[in-house]
Structure 1
Amino acid sequence: MATENSLSTDSKYDQYDFPTTAPESQSGHPGHTTPEQDAKMHQLRAELEKLGYTKRLDSLTLLRFLRARKFDVEAAKTMLTNSETWRKEFGTDDLARTFEYPEKEKVFKYYPQFYHKTDMDGRPVYIEKLGKIDLNKMYQITTGERMLKNLVTESEKLSDPRLLACSRKAGKLLETCCTIMDLKGVGITSVPSVYGYVKQASDISQNHYPERLGKLYLINAPWGFSSVFSALKGFLDPVTVSKIHVLDSGYQKELLAQVPAENLPVEFGGTCKCEGSCELADFGPWKEDEWVRTPKWAQPKEAETTTPAEATPLAEGKEEETVSEATA
């Protein structure tokens, strides 16, 4: 059983300027780990170091990957090294600093997806309007590749500065989001194109940004959706199922119990009317000087370090990369 304790840290990798204890006593979460779980975290770090990795080995990151794989060290190591290969191929480490998305406002007209203030627990609120997706029109403005690059850029910015600023303001470690997905307007004809892209986006989130979902509200669920979801519950992880709330058009009361009215856009039953639009405002603690710090990705790059491939040839000749400093 997990007990209240301090985060098991390593001074070589763990330099935090924000709270590092999770607010709820959940097994495997920072501040609530068992000695066995701490040992597995240190084992994972040691095995990655043997492969030549020198960065992104901080305790919070390792615990997230371990939780995603039920503290199976070998599975977590595979997940993390696969993610590092993807980061190298996708150019992830440089995106937050270099990627520009001038077509953002036009794209959002056909696929609104945005962060907007915080929920009752202090977590960032992330909103998507799936029923508004029109990929044909979007592809006249941008490309699928640029859409995914924007998604990854926002995921990097979620890690730092969004979650870190929220943690400082709340006085507790916040590693997850409150997500609202509006299904209004999602019909049978839009399923193939909509879910094709959503699956790509979902795969990136699950494989490379694990343990970021706090609560998920599927609102305006069409008739029959709840029955389908109920049938799928048996195939999903119980922890994941507990985070998902499927609501029809009468969602406002339950949603407002999680998100303060002043933080929820008017169209969803709240009272917020951001100047310009809530979709483009990006308001939250990450925009407040008291809580935000310069993100690691915006700081001067450190001198290049030896990559695993240069340090020691790996089994089966697979080339790995040096990992960059983790942010959450």
Structure 2
Amino acid sequence: MELRIWNPLRHLPLPSVYSNQIPSSRTRSFSARSSHFDPNQSHKLVLEVKEKLEKDHQSLPVGKNGRDDEDLILWFLRDRKFSVPESVDKLHKAIKWRQEFGVSDLSQDSVKSIAETGKAYVHDFLDVNGRPVLVVDASKHFPGVHDPVENEKLCVFLIEKALSALPEGREEILGIFDLRGFGTENTDLKFLTFLFDVFYFYYPKRLGQVLFVEAPFIFKPIWQLTKPLLKSYASVVRFCSVETLRKEYFTEATLPAKFRD
């Protein structure tokens, strides 16, 4: 049986999804214990990756989430098990994607119209494990109606929003897909694949768990088609009931309102 220690942080409200800009993530230092590397050795590898990015990819931006961001470099080194060549390659692709996608330009105004559908949002409270919570209401997602580009912008905006709300010492977020009322008109394999690809390639090891809540029978064949495309993230998916969600992931005070009834 898992022992849960009371965490006062989970009772604190998170920043509103509708702030004017995506808040900057607080600076985090990674300990030797978490990286399993001696701090001096880790720093040497960070500098090596930094030099290679500067030499081979000078066109990449600098600054926060740029090619000289040492926290970002260390995070990708950890993801790539401290392989410098693999880290350089994955970082190059990730930073270039952020630049081309315009991640830093995403704001309340840029996603306002699609956000007003209520299809996805960052919950106001952390779960019992101290993780920010990204909630998706699948029954409000209509790929035949909504602009796929706007869907992707909202997705990335909310990921950034959730990550900016990480408490000190926490590294992962929880994703919840409410599948009650899900029908064929809500099916969107392309977007689901986009979501997991974004986490895999550009936000590695940030998605701690995904809950598929009250999945209807119609969702099962969709899952079988999608599962092979999700790479390692398929292992973090859990199918569960609303009751399980209530008992295992939230307190009475922090449970999202849509799961109270």
Q: CA shift at 1:197, angstroms?
A: 2.1
Q: CA contact under 8 A between 1:125 and 1:179: conserved in structure 2?
A: yes
Task: Find the counterpart in structure 1 of residue 103 from structure 2.
Answer: 92
| Alignment-derived partner of residue 148 in structure 2 | 144
Q: Does residue 101 of structure 1 match 2:111?
A: yes
Give TM-score scaled by structure 2 length. Answer: 0.69
Query: Of residues 106, 121, 126 in structure 2, which corresponds to 1:114?
Result: 121
**Contact 2:215–2:239 (CA under 8 A) maintained in structure 1:** yes
Residue 110 of structure 2 aligns to a residue in which SS? coil
Whole-angstrom distance in 2 between the partners of 1:86 and 1:262: 38
Map of 1:73 onto structure 2: 84
1:176 corresponds to 2:172: yes
The equivalent position to 2:211 in structure 1, one of 213, 217, 238, is 217
Aligned mates of 2:104, 2:116 — CA distance in 1: 26
Partners of 2:220 and 2:99 in 1: CA distance: 38
Is the alpha carbon distance of 1:155 and 1:72 closer, same or farther for their aligned partners in structure 2, counting shifts above 3 Å? Answer: same
Residue 184 of structure 2 corresponds to residue 206 of structure 1: no
Aligned-partner Cα distance in 2 for 1:156–1:100: 14
The amino acid that maps onto 1:34 is F
- For the structure 1 residues 30 and 46, does the alpha-carbon distance in structure 2 shift closer, same or farther, using more than 3 Å as the test? farther
Counterpart in 1 of 2:256? 265
Once the two structures are TM-superposed, the CA of residue 158 in structure 1 deviates from its matched residue by: 3.2
Q: Which ranges of structure 2 fall in alignment gaps of 5 or more residues? A: 1-24
Deviation at 1:133, TM superposition (A): 1.8
Deviation of 1:190 (Å): 4.2
Decide whether aligned partners of structure 1 residues 217 and 70 sit closer, same or farther in structure 2, where only a CA change above 3 A counts: same
How far apart, CA to CA, are the structure 2 residues paired with 1:241 and 1:91?
Answer: 28
CA RMSD of aligned residues (A): 3.5
Q: Write the deviation string for residues 225-250 of structure 1: whole angstroms up to 9, x where unpaired.
A: 49x77xx69x954xx46533222xx3
Q: 1: CA distance between counterparts of 2:245 and 2:105?
A: 39
Identity %: 23
Paired letter, 1:209: Y
Alpha-carbon contact 2:175-2:207 (below 8 Å) kept: yes
CA distance in 2, matches of 1:134, 1:207: 26
Corresponding residue of 2:17: none
User: What is the Cα deviation at residue 187 of structure 1?
Assistant: 4.1
Matched length: 225
For the 8 Å contact 1:120–1:258, the answer to whether it is kept is yes
CA distance in 1 between counterparts of 2:78 and 2:175 reads 20
